[in-house]
Structure formats: C-alpha cells, structure tokens
C-alpha cells in the first residue's frame, strides 16, 4: 500500500463529512444536514472546527464582496468554512482565489450537498489558482434541499516522520462574491424592429415571420385577443445543475392547456369555429455562464389547437338542450428554437417580483449580442372526418418554415428576454 497516515486522515475527514455511513457521520439526519457544523461555528461564526460566512445581497446591490482569509491548520487537522446565501431573490457566484503556495500535503475541497444521494460531494481544488462555484438563493425549495449553503474544507495531511517535523498549513485565499440571477425558466423572448414594436423584421423561408421563443407561463397573465376562460398547468418542473465552475444548466418541462372564447363566435353554427382549446408541451434547456454573462437557450414546443362547435341532435328542435358540444383538432405546431446570447450584463435590465428582463437598446447591441440563432416551425393542418364526434386526421404532411435572416433596416431592432427566477 502507498497510503500513509496523512492520506488516511484526509480520507477519514471527508468520509465523516460525506454522510455515506449514516451511523458514522457528523451530518444531521434531521433538518439541515450541516446543523452540527453551524452550531460549532457559534454566534460569532467562528468555532473550533467550523466558521461561517453569510452572504445577504440587497436587491439593488450589485457590487462584489471580497473577503480575505488567513486560516492556520495544524498538522493532521482540518477546518471547515461554511458559505451561506441568505438573499431570497438571487444566487451568488463565488470566486475562490488561492494565495498560498501549492503543496501536496495541503488540501482544499469545495463541498456541496447532493439532495438526491443525501451525501456531500467534494471537488479537489487544491491545485487551482481560481475556482468558481454557485450558491442558490434562499428559497423554500433550496432550504429543503440544502442548496443555499456549501463549504470549503481545509485539510493538513502533513505529519511528523523520522528526521522531519510537521508544518502548519497557513491557508490564505480570497473569496469574491457576486449576486447573480437564479433562472427558473424562460417566460418569453422575441426580436422586434421599430424600437421593439414590429415583429415582422425576421425573415423565414416563406417571408417575414415573428421570432418569439416558446415560453413557459407559470406567472399570471392576460390576453387581448379574446376571453381567457381557463389556463391549467398540467405539469411543470425546473431543475438546475452545475455544468462547469462558471456555468449552470436549467432543464424545464412544461405542459399547459388554455380555453379561449371570442365574442363574435356563433355557438349554434356548426360551420363556424367556436371556443378554442390550445394544449402545449414545452421543453427548455438554458445554459447560463454567470461569469461571462452568456446564455444559450434551446426551446421546443408541440402545440395542439382544437376548437369547439355545437351540432343539433334533432334538426327540428332549436332548444338549447338539443345541442351537443363537439371538440375537433384544427392543427398541430412543432417549434424548435436556438438562441445564443452574449454581453448579457451590458443590456438594460429590469427586475420585478417574478424575475428579470434583459433588453438590447438598439440594432448595434442586438447584432453584437446574438452569437447563434435558428428557428423552425412545422404546421400540420387537420380535417374533420366525423362531424358527429369531431374525429380529425392530418390533411397533408405539413408546411415547414425556418429562420433565414433578420432585417436591421427597420428602425432599431431590439432583442428582449424575460426569465422567471427562483
């Protein structure tokens, strides 16, 4: 065996902090798994084994916070620095900058709780001069899953040996924290000319077409083109995971149904499309580089458009009770969109109770911001094959449209992205 007492101590400390063995761990099995560490940090946030640094950026505070640490760790000993985000509306990205010299016996680990496995995961950053990590905003879900807290583990593996004294690990590093948005999903996004009012500046294969990203509607909304009777969310999930030390990815799955009525529809005329029903299934993948201010958005939507009409059970009876409601399918839409955007932090930013909106100010900013763009739309019309039941079938294979270019000659072309945040 090539291991020594220093290696064994290093493994031992991470083992009891991992929670791998529920009967031999210093993690709590009730509430916050790090409650014993928090208790050890004390009221002054500086205990014998654990210390704690609390971040609590105000909503209007965008200035970075830098803290320098000088921590002495004796040989065959360790220290924990808990990092806690108390802000309820924004995550925090922390940049670790090593100031001490690298040494094989001095270990630094970034540690985070994995809610799925109920264990602590460790990343060895001992030889890194810089390392970035993300701490979630303090929400009900992040607290339940212990995602608004993480820690740095400092381990001194050095030990006395024949002819050699053991040295202290004089750890020295800076932590620079910046508040960042904790994206939950894309609510909507579009490109429009004439200072954001003309959607017909994007050219698709058949001609001008609206470039509107398939969004997720979990916030209250209203419509101007009819009477919204109901809007049901059938399914919604949004999961965030770290892709790299500077990028996190959000995967969104969403299903909804809404029913609209239009004032000029004649509900008793079977030849006229009546109240409409729209069913949508949307998936989104959002890769957010919170260090460089870049975002990659991939959206897919499958939409089924239906309509209601009424027919008579008895042709000679005009009473309301003689009519039955039938639902038929008018068409299916399949939309696939990709938009890669940079320079996010130089855009105009608006924060509200639901999330954050980014907007370019002119065509030059829009052209500089868009790194990659694509969009395809497939429309498949349906025809009724049984008027009594509403049974429908595809009328033909469908029409396919795709993005070609953006016309920047129609006033200032604006890009706007609106995100819900956690």
Q: Which of 100-104, 158-162, 374-378 has the lowest mean pLDDT?
A: 158-162
Distances, alpha carbon 134 to alpha carbons 18, 44, 190, 296, 416, in Å: 19, 24, 28, 18, 25
Q: How far is CA 194 from the centre of its chain?
A: 31
* pLDDT given at position 323: 80
Q: Specify the residue for token string 């010299």.
A: 101
Residue 43 in this model has a pLDDT that exceeds 70: yes
Contact, 14 vs 109, CB < 8 A? yes
Q: In the structure, what pLDDT confidence band is assigned to residue 162 with cuts at 50, 70 and 90?
A: low
Task: Please give the Cα distance from 42 to 40 (Å, whole number).
Answer: 5
Q: What is the mean pLDDT of residues 285-304?
A: 95
Q: What is the pLDDT of residues 183-204, one digit of tens each?
A: 999 999 999 987 777 888 999 9
Q: Strands 50-55 and 77-85, how do they pair? A: parallel
Domains of the chain: 5-180 (2.60.120.290), 183-421 (no CATH)
Mean pLDDT across the chain: 90
Q: Model-level pTM? A: 0.79
Residue 228 in this model has a pLDDT that exceeds 80: no
* pLDDT given at position 65: 95
Q: What is the mean pLDDT of residues 9-23?
A: 95
Share of residues in the chain with pLDDT > 90 (%):
65
- Which strand (E) or helix (H) includes residue 5? helix 5-18
H-only helix segments in 148-206: none
Q: What is the mean pLDDT of residues 5-24?
A: 95
Phi-psi category of residue 95: left, alpha or beta, with phi > 0 → left and psi -120 to 50 → alpha: beta
DSSP codes of every residue in 339-367: EEE--GGGSEEEE-SSEEEEE--SHHHHH
Distances, alpha carbon 354 to alpha carbons 87, 91, 182, 248, 290, in Å: 15, 15, 12, 20, 19
Residue 52 in this model has a pLDDT that exceeds 60: yes
Q: Which of 97-111, 336-350, 383-397 has the lowest mean pLDDT?
A: 383-397
Q: What is the pLDDT of residues 306-332, one digit of tens each?
A: 988 888 777 776 776 778 888 999 999
Residue 92 in this model has a pLDDT that exceeds 90: yes
Q: Which of 22-36, 106-120, 241-255, 387-401 has the lowest mean pLDDT?
A: 387-401
Dmax (CA) of the chain? 111
Task: Please give the Cα distance from 12 to 24 (Å, whole number).
Answer: 11
285 burial (CB, 10 Å; 0-12 / 13-18 / 19+) is: middle
* pLDDT given at position 25: 95
* pLDDT given at position 267: 44
């Amino acid at each position: 065996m090539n291991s020594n007492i220093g290696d064994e101590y290093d493994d031992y400390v991470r083992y009891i902090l991992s929670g791998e063995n529920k009967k031999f761990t210093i993690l709590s099995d009730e509430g916050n798994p790090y409650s014993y560490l928090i208790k050890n940090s004390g009221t002054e946030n500086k205990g014998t084994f654990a210390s704690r640094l609390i971040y609590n950026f105000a909503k209007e505070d965008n200035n970075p916070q830098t803290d320098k640490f000088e921590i002495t760790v004796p040989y065959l000993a360790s220290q924990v620095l808990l990092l806690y985000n108390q802000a309820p509306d924004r995550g925090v990205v922390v940049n670790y900058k090593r100031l001490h010299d690298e040494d094989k016996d001095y270990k630094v680990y970034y540690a985070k709780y994995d809610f799925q496995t109920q264990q602590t995961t460790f990343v060895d950053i001992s030889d890194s001069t810089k390392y970035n990590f993300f701490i979630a905003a303090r929400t009900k879900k992040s607290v339940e899953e212990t995602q608004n807290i993480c820690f740095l583990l400092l381990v001194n593996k050095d030990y006395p040996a024949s002819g050699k004294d053991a040295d202290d690990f004089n750890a020295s590093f800076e932590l620079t924290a910046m508040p960042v948005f904790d994206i939950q999903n894309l609510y909507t996004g579009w490109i429009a000319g004439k200072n954001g009012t003309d959607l017909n500046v994007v050219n698709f294969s058949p001609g001008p077409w609206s470039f509107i990203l398939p969004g997720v509607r979990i916030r209250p909304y209203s419509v101007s083109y009819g009477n919204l009777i109901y809007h049901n969310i059938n399914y919604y999930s949004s999961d965030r995971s770290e892709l790299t030390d500077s990028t996190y990815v959000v995967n969104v799955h969403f299903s909804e149904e809404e029913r609209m009525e239009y004032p000029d529809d004649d509900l008793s005329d079977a030849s006229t499309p009546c109240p409409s029903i729209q069913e949508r299934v949307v998936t989104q993948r959002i890769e957010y580089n919170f260090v460089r201010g870049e975002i990659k958005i991939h959206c897919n939507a499958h939409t089924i458009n239906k309509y209601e009409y009424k027919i008579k059970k008895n042709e000679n009876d005009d009473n309301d009770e003689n009519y039955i409601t039938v639902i038929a399918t008018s068409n299916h839409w399949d939309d696939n969109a990709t938009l890669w955007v940079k320079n996010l932090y130089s855009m105009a930013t608006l924060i509200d109770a639901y999330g954050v909106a980014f907007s370019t100010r002119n065509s030059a900013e829009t052209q500089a911001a868009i790194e990659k763009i694509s969009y395809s739309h497939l429309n498949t019309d349906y025809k009724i094959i049984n008027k009594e039941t509403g049974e429908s079938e595809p009328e033909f294979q469908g029409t396919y449209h795709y993005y070609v270019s953006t016309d920047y000659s129609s006033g200032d072309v604006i890009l706007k992205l609106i995100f819900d945040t956690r």
